[in-house]
Amino acid sequence: DIQMTQSPSTLSASVGDRVTITCRASQSISGWLAWYQQKPGKAPKLLIYKASTFGRGVPSRFSGSRSGTEFTLTISSLQPDDFATYYCQQYYSFSYTFGQGTKLEIK
């Protein structure tokens, strides 16, 4: 199975900061990677798919990029609504593994 290593596991930041979350695949997954945001007690929400394509209604401060097997989710200017947990997921090869998650906290 493909392993997805997500970092950091926790990130403390302030409103207005630029933050980056990284996900590394254990082998090539081409660009078949999605990013999700999850708030406590709620279902996840799709942010990005195919590494860099926006999900419906996702603000433009979110962006995704790829360099080989390393994928990055960037939030250009944190807003209060962005403090949540973020997950990456590869959908290149079954089983479709998720990263361990990154909890974005208010500093």
Partner 1 sequence: EVHLVESGGGLVQPGGSLSLSCAASGFTYSDYWMTWVRQAPGKGLEWVANIKQDGSEKYYVDSVKGRFTISRDNAKNSLHLQMYSLRAEDTAVYYCARNLWSDHWGQGTLVTVSS
Residues lying near partner 1 in the complex (CB under 8 A)? 1, 32, 34, 36, 38, 43-46, 49-50, 55-56, 87, 89, 91, 94-101
Burial of residue 16 (number of CB atoms within 10 Å: 0-12, 13-18, 19+): exposed
**Quick one: 38 or 63, whose CB is closer to partner 1?**
38
The distance between the two most distant Cα atoms of the chain, rounded to a whole number of Å, is: 38
**Quick one: 9 or 12, whose CB is closer to partner 1?**
9
d(CA 73, CA 69): 14
**Quick one: 13 or 46, whose CB is closer to partner 1?**
46
What's the closest the beta carbon of residue 66 comes to partner 1, in angstroms? Answer: 14
What's the closest the beta carbon of residue 42 comes to partner 1, in angstroms? Answer: 8
DSSP annotation of 68: T
